[in-house]
């Protein structure tokens, strides 16, 4: 790249404050293109054809789409008038400054060309008509920007109705239409891009390290509690069939809600005690299970064997409710992984009694949950 300074673009600060900095730069470039071409007079205006490649060389910092956008902005402000001749190349821009030929004045110097601000006069502004319809040139320009013809035509009735209600006159309704349709198209493309990034959750999904750090290190939530929440979270969203690109965020919210209930229901007695035949979990246990989408009947069906085992075991616990909650969530996760998602938990209880409390592997897993002891 050469270090020799290129030709400078000189603009008016006042004009930039009026129509915008980028629009003023674009206006200066169009004026320069006009000075180096042979404008054709038609309808009292001087029309200039300029190829987009030429503008791209003059303004390499803009894409072709940005050049189109700035041109449309100038046309909407009434500074220039755009007209695409059907015989022109699709990459050509046909424009005229919105001023009669007799009033066109420019200050020409050796190194730059300036547009006098007082040479920009206004054309007559009109209200939009009920039967207004975009020209083929307008549809072609939108096509160059990526908007389909079908989409562009779908916007016409709403565009006309809106501006009829507003009763606001415009210099060029076509320029306004081009800008509005292009904006709507960009919004549609952005939404489609966002949807394309959304995925369904699978059985192998795991929260990211950042999500785990937020929950455990910053949130003070037990890592075991978080791990126990993963299977139920996966099962719930697989049954719902939802898609998202923010599964970590959903999981964090899911765990935090459960943890708040869990902390609120935890009983911390001074002396541990054995379980009795009449023992029943606190009602808040079922509230936490409900947030985990675990049915109450599923938990109640496991209650008798839970009591029986720990009576035979003779262990003492300061909170049997948290111990029961831990077991139910672990059992739900185990059965959901071994059964198809279409089977209800009633069938799982009837047909698969393996892995209950008398299974040694589960007892080992229970004893490894320090947060519940």
**79 and 120 Cβ atoms separated by less than 8 Å:** yes
**Tokens coding 179:** 């800008």
Residue 281 has pLDDT above 70, yes or no: yes
State the sign of the Cα–Cα–Cα–Cα dihedral 253, 187, 61, 1. positive
For the segment 346-369, what is each residue's pLDDT rounded down to a tens digit? Answer: 555 445 544 444 443 433 444 444
For the segment 99-125, what is each residue's pLDDT rounded down to a tens digit? Answer: 655 444 444 343 343 433 333 444 567
Q: What pLDDT sits at residue 39? A: 81
Q: What pLDDT sits at residue 268? A: 54
Mean pLDDT of 130-154: 85
**93 and 169 Cβ atoms separated by less than 8 Å:** no
Q: How confident is the model at residue 340 (pLDDT cuts 50, 70, 90)?
A: very low
Name the pairing type of β-strands 113-115 and 199-200: unpaired
**Tokens coding 345:** 């938990």
- Please report how many Cα atoms fall inside a 13 Å half-sphere around the Cα of residue 36, on the Cβ side: 12
Mean pLDDT of 224-238: 82
Phi-psi region of 295 (alpha: psi -120 to 50; beta: other; left: phi over 0): beta
d(CA 178, CA 182): 6
Burial tier of 292 (Cβ tally within 10 Å: 0-12, 13-18, 19+): buried
For the segment 71-83, what is each residue's pLDDT rounded down to a tens digit? Answer: 888 887 778 888 7
Going along the chain from its start, the domains and CATH numbers come out as 1-123 (no CATH), 125-197 (1.10.8), 200-372 (no CATH)
d(CA 7, CA 109): 13
Q: What is the mean pLDDT of the chain?
A: 74
**146 and 66 Cβ atoms separated by less than 8 Å:** no
Residue 66 has pLDDT above 50, yes or no: yes
Residue 89 has pLDDT above 60, yes or no: no
**318 and 371 Cβ atoms separated by less than 8 Å:** no
Candidate from 123-137, 167-181, 184-198 with smallest mean pLDDT: 184-198
Nearest to 348, CA basis, from 306, 295, 280, 304: 295
Q: What pLDDT sits at residue 234? A: 83
Q: How confident is the model at residue 297 (pLDDT cuts 50, 70, 90)?
A: confident
Find the helix or strand (DSSP H, E) in which 95 lies.
strand 92-97
Query: Among 150-159, 185-194, 223-232, which range has the highest average pLDDT?
Result: 150-159
Burial tier of 52 (Cβ tally within 10 Å: 0-12, 13-18, 19+): middle
């Amino acid at each position: 790249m050469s270090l020799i300074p290129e030709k400078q673009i000189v603009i008016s600060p006042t004009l930039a404050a009026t129509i915008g900095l980028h629009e003023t730069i674009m206006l200066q470039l169009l004026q320069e293109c006009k000075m180096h071409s042979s404008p054709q007079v038609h309808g009292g205006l001087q029309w200039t054809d300029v190829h987009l490649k030429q503008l791209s060389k003059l303004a390499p910092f803009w894409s072709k789409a940005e050049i189109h956008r700035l041109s449309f902005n100038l046309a909407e402000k009434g500074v220039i008038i755009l007209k695409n001749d059907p015989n022109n190349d699709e990459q050509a821009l046909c424009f005229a400054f919105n001023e009669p030929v007799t009033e066109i004045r420019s200050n020409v110097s050796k190194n730059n060309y300036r547009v006098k601000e007082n040479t920009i006069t206004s054309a007559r502004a009109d209200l939009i008509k009920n039967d207004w319809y975009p020209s083929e040139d307008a549809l072609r320009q939108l096509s160059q920007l990526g908007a389909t013809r079908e989409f562009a035509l779908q916007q016409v009735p709403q565009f006309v109705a809106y501006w009829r209600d507003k009763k606001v006159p415009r210099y060029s309704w076509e320029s306004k239409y081009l800008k509005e349709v292009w904006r709507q198209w960009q919004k549609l493309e952005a939404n489609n891009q966002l949807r394309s990034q959304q995925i369904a959750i699978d059985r192998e999904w795991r929260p990211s390290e950042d999500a785990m750090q937020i929950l455990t290190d910053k949130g003070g939530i037990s890592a075991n509690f978080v791990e126990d929440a993963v299977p139920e979270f996966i099962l719930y969203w697989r049954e719902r069939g939802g898609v998202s690109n923010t599964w970590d965020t959903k999981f964090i919210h899911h765990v935090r809600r459960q943890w708040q209930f869990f902390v609120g229901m935890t009983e911390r007695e001074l002396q541990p005690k054995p379980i009795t035949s009449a023992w029943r979990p606190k009602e808040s246990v079922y509230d936490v299970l409900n947030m985990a989408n675990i049915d109450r009947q599923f938990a109640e069906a496991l209650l008798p064997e839970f009591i029986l085992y720990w009576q035979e075991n003779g262990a003492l616990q300061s909170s049997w409710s948290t111990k029961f909650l831990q077991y139910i969530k672990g059992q739900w996760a185990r059965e959901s992984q071994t059964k198809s998602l279409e089977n209800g938990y009633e069938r799982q209880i009837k047909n698969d009694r393996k892995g209950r409390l008398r299974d040694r592997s589960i007892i080992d897993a229970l004893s490894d949950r320090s947060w519940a002891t």
